[in-house]
Amino acid sequence: MALVSGILKWALLAGGYLALTGSPATPEYVAAALVSATALSISWLIRAKGSHRLSMRAPWPAIAGRMLRALLRDSALMGAALARALLRGHTGRLVCEPEAVDRYPGETRGARRAVAILQESIAPNTFVVDADGAQLRIHHLA
């Protein structure tokens, strides 16, 4: 039973690694197998040497109930805000701002563009609607 459990854990770790890499290539499969085996081995060593077992037992029904209540409350608040916006009219504006990442080539340009989009989206009351060419379309709320 421990062998089957170990194989399942290894498969889950390897699958998680491959899901996060996003590039199904032979080197990634090899890396997933090695990293998963290493993580599982370390886990077994820690369990063998440890005097206390860590258990992830939680009151899941209570947690699920709180999450559902929060989801319903937030959905009602969002619905009310959307209804107010529809009834009163739109108060935001759409702005086009030039991107400052055109001077970077290749992969560096893509990474810098992603950071620029994230940076604009994190600002309060703004989010990037579209990243087209050399400009960002940004929606400013109110």
Residue-level pLDDT at 75: 92
State how far the Cα of 64 lies from the Cα of 55, in Å rounded to an integer. 19
136 DSSP 8-state letter: E
- The model carries a pTM of 0.38
- On whether residue 78 sits in a domain, the answer given is no
- On whether residue 85 sits in a domain, the answer given is no
- On whether residue 23 sits in a domain, the answer given is yes
- Domains in the chain, number: 2
Domain span holding position 122: 90-142
- On whether residue 39 sits in a domain, the answer given is yes
State the DSSP string of 73-111: HHHHHHHHHHHHHHHH----EEEEEE-S-TTS-HHHHHH
- On whether residue 115 sits in a domain, the answer given is yes
State how far the Cα of 112 lies from the Cα of 132, in Å rounded to an integer. 15
- On whether residue 69 sits in a domain, the answer given is no
User: Mean pLDDT of residues grouped by 10 in the chain (142 residues)?
Assistant: 83 87 81 90 84 73 91 91 80 76 63 78 78 79 71
